[in-house]
Amino acid sequence: MPAKRMYLLDLGNLSGDKGWFLPGALGGAATRNNRNPARSWVDVPVPAALIEHKDGLVLFDAGTSPAAMTTRPKPTENFPLTKFTDENLLEKQLSVLGFKPEDVSYIVISHLHWDHVGQLPTFGNRKVPLILQKKELEWALYTIWQGKGVYYTLEDMRPLVGANWFPLDEKSFELMDGITLEWTGGHTPGHQIVKVTLGSGNTYILTGDYLHIPEEYELETKGWLLGDAEEWQVEIRKLKLQVMAQKAKLIISHDPGLWGKYPKAPKWLE
Ligand SMILES: [Zn+2]
Protein backbone atom coordinates (compact mmCIF):
# COMPACT_ATOMS: atom_id res chain seq x y z
CA MET A 1 0.00 0.00 0.00
CA PRO A 2 1.46 3.37 -0.98
CA ALA A 3 1.08 6.48 1.19
CA LYS A 4 -2.48 7.62 1.92
CA ARG A 5 -2.17 11.35 1.70
CA MET A 6 0.35 14.15 2.05
CA TYR A 7 -0.06 17.48 3.79
CA LEU A 8 2.11 20.53 3.14
CA LEU A 9 2.78 22.55 6.29
CA ASP A 10 3.34 26.31 6.26
CA LEU A 11 6.33 27.05 8.49
CA GLY A 12 6.60 30.74 7.56
CA ASN A 13 8.47 32.76 4.95
CA LEU A 14 11.97 34.05 4.44
CA SER A 15 13.44 36.29 1.78
CA GLY A 16 16.71 36.93 0.02
CA ASP A 17 18.60 38.18 -3.02
CA LYS A 18 17.63 36.42 -6.27
CA GLY A 19 21.32 35.77 -6.96
CA TRP A 20 21.23 32.95 -4.38
CA PHE A 21 18.90 31.04 -6.69
CA LEU A 22 19.91 32.06 -10.23
CA PRO A 23 23.40 32.80 -11.56
CA GLY A 24 24.81 35.73 -13.50
CA ALA A 25 22.48 38.19 -15.16
CA LEU A 26 19.50 35.91 -14.39
CA GLY A 27 20.13 36.57 -10.72
CA GLY A 28 20.82 40.25 -11.18
CA ALA A 29 24.61 40.32 -11.72
CA ALA A 30 26.11 43.28 -13.60
CA THR A 31 27.08 42.60 -17.22
CA ARG A 32 28.88 44.53 -19.98
CA ASN A 33 25.65 46.04 -21.24
CA ASN A 34 23.98 46.45 -17.88
CA ARG A 35 26.52 47.66 -15.33
CA ASN A 36 24.04 48.65 -12.63
CA PRO A 37 21.10 46.27 -12.73
CA ALA A 38 18.35 46.52 -10.15
CA ARG A 39 18.82 43.70 -7.68
CA SER A 40 15.77 41.66 -6.92
CA TRP A 41 14.70 40.44 -3.51
CA VAL A 42 12.48 37.38 -3.38
CA ASP A 43 10.05 36.34 -0.66
CA VAL A 44 9.78 32.54 -0.41
CA PRO A 45 7.88 30.02 1.70
CA VAL A 46 9.39 27.59 4.21
CA PRO A 47 7.31 24.43 3.95
CA ALA A 48 7.45 20.95 5.47
CA ALA A 49 5.50 17.86 4.45
CA LEU A 50 3.65 15.28 6.49
CA ILE A 51 3.00 11.93 4.83
CA GLU A 52 0.28 9.69 6.21
CA HIS A 53 1.07 6.01 5.60
CA LYS A 54 -0.40 2.90 7.19
CA ASP A 55 3.07 2.16 8.55
CA GLY A 56 3.47 5.53 10.24
CA LEU A 57 3.45 9.28 9.98
CA VAL A 58 6.51 10.68 8.18
CA LEU A 59 7.63 14.30 8.50
CA PHE A 60 9.89 15.81 5.85
CA ASP A 61 11.96 18.79 7.07
CA ALA A 62 11.32 21.08 10.02
CA GLY A 63 11.68 24.77 9.08
CA THR A 64 13.48 27.49 11.00
CA SER A 65 13.79 28.09 14.70
CA PRO A 66 11.01 30.50 15.79
CA ALA A 67 13.77 32.58 17.42
CA ALA A 68 16.01 32.55 14.32
CA MET A 69 16.01 36.33 13.82
CA THR A 70 17.74 36.88 17.15
CA THR A 71 19.60 33.61 17.63
CA ARG A 72 20.82 32.84 14.06
CA PRO A 73 22.37 36.18 13.03
CA LYS A 74 24.48 34.79 10.16
CA PRO A 75 21.84 33.02 8.04
CA THR A 76 19.16 35.62 8.79
CA GLU A 77 21.45 38.42 7.60
CA ASN A 78 21.15 36.93 4.10
CA PHE A 79 17.71 35.40 4.57
CA PRO A 80 15.59 37.25 7.13
CA LEU A 81 12.31 35.70 8.20
CA THR A 82 9.53 37.74 6.63
CA LYS A 83 6.66 35.80 8.18
CA PHE A 84 6.59 33.74 11.32
CA THR A 85 3.68 33.64 13.75
CA ASP A 86 2.42 31.00 16.18
CA GLU A 87 0.47 29.57 13.22
CA ASN A 88 3.80 28.57 11.68
CA LEU A 89 4.90 26.48 14.64
CA LEU A 90 5.20 22.81 13.70
CA GLU A 91 3.25 21.85 16.80
CA LYS A 92 0.40 24.13 15.73
CA GLN A 93 0.46 22.83 12.15
CA LEU A 94 0.24 19.26 13.44
CA SER A 95 -2.55 20.11 15.89
CA VAL A 96 -4.71 21.53 13.10
CA LEU A 97 -4.55 18.03 11.59
CA GLY A 98 -5.39 16.40 14.90
CA PHE A 99 -1.83 15.18 15.48
CA LYS A 100 0.68 15.74 18.25
CA PRO A 101 4.47 15.71 17.87
CA GLU A 102 4.51 12.25 19.51
CA ASP A 103 2.38 10.87 16.65
CA VAL A 104 5.22 11.41 14.17
CA SER A 105 6.95 8.05 13.56
CA TYR A 106 9.89 9.13 11.36
CA ILE A 107 11.53 12.41 10.39
CA VAL A 108 13.34 12.67 7.06
CA ILE A 109 15.70 15.61 6.68
CA SER A 110 16.68 16.86 3.23
CA HIS A 111 19.81 18.49 4.67
CA LEU A 112 20.92 20.15 7.90
CA HIS A 113 20.66 23.81 6.93
CA TRP A 114 19.06 26.10 9.55
CA ASP A 115 15.78 26.50 7.61
CA HIS A 116 15.16 22.74 7.45
CA VAL A 117 15.94 21.61 10.99
CA GLY A 118 15.07 24.61 13.19
CA GLN A 119 11.91 23.17 14.73
CA LEU A 120 13.27 19.69 15.50
CA PRO A 121 13.39 20.56 19.24
CA THR A 122 9.55 20.31 19.05
CA PHE A 123 10.14 16.56 19.37
CA GLY A 124 12.17 16.95 22.59
CA ASN A 125 13.84 13.79 23.79
CA ARG A 126 11.38 11.48 22.11
CA LYS A 127 14.06 9.72 20.10
CA VAL A 128 12.01 9.77 16.91
CA PRO A 129 14.14 8.28 14.11
CA LEU A 130 15.95 11.07 12.28
CA ILE A 131 16.82 9.94 8.75
CA LEU A 132 19.38 11.73 6.63
CA GLN A 133 22.49 11.02 4.57
CA LYS A 134 25.61 10.14 6.56
CA LYS A 135 27.58 12.54 4.35
CA GLU A 136 25.28 15.39 5.38
CA LEU A 137 25.88 14.86 9.08
CA GLU A 138 29.62 14.64 8.50
CA TRP A 139 29.72 17.76 6.32
CA ALA A 140 27.59 19.85 8.69
CA LEU A 141 29.84 19.05 11.65
CA TYR A 142 33.05 19.43 9.63
CA THR A 143 31.88 22.87 8.52
CA ILE A 144 30.79 24.02 11.97
CA TRP A 145 33.96 22.68 13.62
CA GLN A 146 36.06 24.76 11.25
CA GLY A 147 34.13 27.86 12.23
CA LYS A 148 32.72 28.11 8.70
CA GLY A 149 29.09 27.36 9.42
CA VAL A 150 26.73 29.99 8.05
CA TYR A 151 23.69 27.95 7.09
CA TYR A 152 24.71 25.09 9.38
CA THR A 153 24.48 26.46 12.91
CA LEU A 154 25.70 25.08 16.21
CA GLU A 155 22.43 26.33 17.74
CA ASP A 156 20.47 24.00 15.48
CA MET A 157 22.84 21.06 15.90
CA ARG A 158 23.33 21.18 19.68
CA PRO A 159 19.82 19.89 20.56
CA LEU A 160 20.43 16.98 18.17
CA VAL A 161 23.39 15.50 20.05
CA GLY A 162 22.40 11.92 20.86
CA ALA A 163 19.33 12.02 18.57
CA ASN A 164 18.11 8.74 17.12
CA TRP A 165 20.10 9.21 13.92
CA PHE A 166 19.74 6.94 10.90
CA PRO A 167 22.54 8.11 8.57
CA LEU A 168 22.11 6.52 5.14
CA ASP A 169 25.05 5.76 2.90
CA GLU A 170 23.31 4.79 -0.34
CA LYS A 171 21.83 6.58 -3.32
CA SER A 172 18.32 5.31 -2.96
CA PHE A 173 16.45 3.92 0.04
CA GLU A 174 12.83 2.81 0.22
CA LEU A 175 11.55 3.82 3.65
CA MET A 176 8.05 2.45 3.10
CA ASP A 177 6.01 1.33 0.12
CA GLY A 178 5.68 4.54 -1.93
CA ILE A 179 8.23 6.60 0.02
CA THR A 180 11.76 6.61 -1.41
CA LEU A 181 14.68 8.77 -0.29
CA GLU A 182 17.22 9.65 -2.97
CA TRP A 183 20.62 11.25 -2.51
CA THR A 184 21.17 14.18 -4.87
CA GLY A 185 24.09 16.19 -3.47
CA GLY A 186 24.39 19.32 -5.62
CA HIS A 187 23.32 21.84 -2.97
CA THR A 188 25.11 20.25 0.00
CA PRO A 189 27.20 17.05 -0.21
CA GLY A 190 24.60 14.94 1.59
CA HIS A 191 21.41 16.49 0.29
CA GLN A 192 18.50 14.09 -0.32
CA ILE A 193 15.03 14.37 -1.87
CA VAL A 194 11.92 12.29 -1.25
CA LYS A 195 9.69 10.65 -3.82
CA VAL A 196 6.17 9.93 -2.62
CA THR A 197 3.56 7.86 -4.44
CA LEU A 198 0.06 8.20 -3.06
CA GLY A 199 -2.88 5.80 -3.26
CA SER A 200 -4.25 7.66 -6.28
CA GLY A 201 -1.10 6.71 -8.18
CA ASN A 202 0.13 10.32 -8.20
CA THR A 203 3.85 10.73 -7.59
CA TYR A 204 5.30 13.84 -5.93
CA ILE A 205 8.95 14.70 -5.48
CA LEU A 206 9.85 16.88 -2.50
CA THR A 207 12.96 18.58 -3.80
CA GLY A 208 14.24 20.15 -0.57
CA ASP A 209 16.88 22.71 -1.54
CA TYR A 210 18.20 20.71 -4.46
CA LEU A 211 15.79 23.10 -6.19
CA HIS A 212 14.89 26.33 -4.40
CA ILE A 213 12.74 27.97 -7.10
CA PRO A 214 11.15 26.67 -10.34
CA GLU A 215 13.37 28.70 -12.69
CA GLU A 216 16.33 26.59 -11.57
CA TYR A 217 14.50 23.55 -12.94
CA GLU A 218 13.36 25.26 -16.13
CA LEU A 219 16.71 26.85 -16.95
CA GLU A 220 18.82 24.00 -15.50
CA THR A 221 21.01 26.31 -13.49
CA LYS A 222 21.47 27.49 -9.93
CA GLY A 223 22.93 30.59 -8.25
CA TRP A 224 25.22 31.03 -5.23
CA LEU A 225 23.53 28.15 -3.44
CA LEU A 226 24.93 25.67 -5.95
CA GLY A 227 27.25 23.23 -4.20
CA ASP A 228 28.70 20.65 -6.59
CA ALA A 229 27.89 21.53 -10.20
CA GLU A 230 28.46 18.03 -11.58
CA GLU A 231 26.20 16.37 -9.02
CA TRP A 232 23.57 19.02 -9.66
CA GLN A 233 23.67 18.67 -13.44
CA VAL A 234 23.40 14.88 -13.33
CA GLU A 235 20.37 15.01 -11.07
CA ILE A 236 18.47 17.66 -13.02
CA ARG A 237 18.28 15.41 -16.08
CA LYS A 238 17.18 12.47 -13.90
CA LEU A 239 14.43 14.61 -12.37
CA LYS A 240 13.23 15.69 -15.80
CA LEU A 241 13.08 12.07 -16.86
CA GLN A 242 10.93 11.22 -13.84
CA VAL A 243 8.63 14.13 -14.57
CA MET A 244 8.33 12.95 -18.19
CA ALA A 245 8.14 9.19 -17.80
CA GLN A 246 6.38 8.92 -14.43
CA LYS A 247 4.33 12.13 -14.51
CA ALA A 248 5.95 13.07 -11.21
CA LYS A 249 5.03 16.49 -9.81
CA LEU A 250 7.72 18.57 -8.16
CA ILE A 251 7.19 20.28 -4.84
CA ILE A 252 9.97 22.86 -4.92
CA SER A 253 10.89 23.91 -1.38
CA HIS A 254 11.12 27.68 -1.70
CA ASP A 255 8.89 28.22 -4.75
CA PRO A 256 7.39 31.71 -4.35
CA GLY A 257 4.27 30.36 -6.08
CA LEU A 258 4.05 27.19 -3.95
CA TRP A 259 0.78 28.00 -2.20
CA GLY A 260 -0.86 28.88 -5.51
CA LYS A 261 0.02 25.41 -6.85
CA TYR A 262 -0.60 23.21 -3.83
CA PRO A 263 -2.99 23.54 -0.90
CA LYS A 264 -1.79 24.14 2.65
CA ALA A 265 -2.73 21.77 5.45
CA PRO A 266 -5.39 20.91 6.59
CA LYS A 267 -6.08 20.34 2.89
CA TRP A 268 -4.03 17.51 1.40
CA LEU A 269 -2.59 16.09 -1.78
CA GLU A 270 -3.69 12.71 -3.07
ZN1 LIG B 1 19.82 24.69 2.06
Q: CA 133 to CA 155: how far, in whole Å?
A: 20
- The predicted model gives 20-32 an average pLDDT of 95
Q: What is the dihedral of CA 17, 20, 23, 29, to 10 degrees?
A: 30
Per-residue model confidence as pLDDT tens digits over 240-253: 999 999 999 999 99
Please give the pLDDT value at position 1: 80
- Tell me the pLDDT of the chain averaged across its residues: 97
End-to-end CA distance of the chain: 14
Q: How many other CB atoms are there within 10 angstroms of residue 109's CB atom?
A: 26
Separation of 117 CA from ligand 1 center, angstroms?
A: 10
CATH code for position 114: 3.60.15.10
Domain for residue 95, yes or no?
Answer: yes
Residue 21 clears pLDDT 90, i.e. is over it: yes
Separation of 162 CA from ligand 1 center, angstroms?
A: 23
Domain for residue 127, yes or no?
Answer: yes
Domain for residue 267, yes or no?
Answer: no
- Edge-first strand listing for the sheet containing 56-60: 81-83, 5-17, 41-53, 56-60, 106-108, 130-133, 165-168
Contact 111, 188 (CB under 8 A): yes
Q: CA 143 to CA 204: how far, in whole Å?
A: 32
Separation of 54 CA from ligand 1 center, angstroms?
A: 30
Q: CA 232 to CA 225: how far, in whole Å?
A: 11
Domain for residue 192, yes or no?
Answer: yes
Separation of 164 CA from ligand 1 center, angstroms?
A: 22
Indicate the pTM of the whole model: 0.97
Separation of 131 CA from ligand 1 center, angstroms?
A: 16
Domain for residue 266, yes or no?
Answer: no
- How many domains in the chain? 1
Domain for residue 226, yes or no?
Answer: yes
What range defines the domain where residue 120 resides? 5-30+41-261
Separation of 111 CA from ligand 1 center, angstroms?
A: 7
Separation of 155 CA from ligand 1 center, angstroms?
A: 16
Separation of 126 CA from ligand 1 center, angstroms?
A: 25
Per-residue model confidence as pLDDT tens digits over 136-172: 999 999 999 999 999 999 999 999 999 999 999 999 9
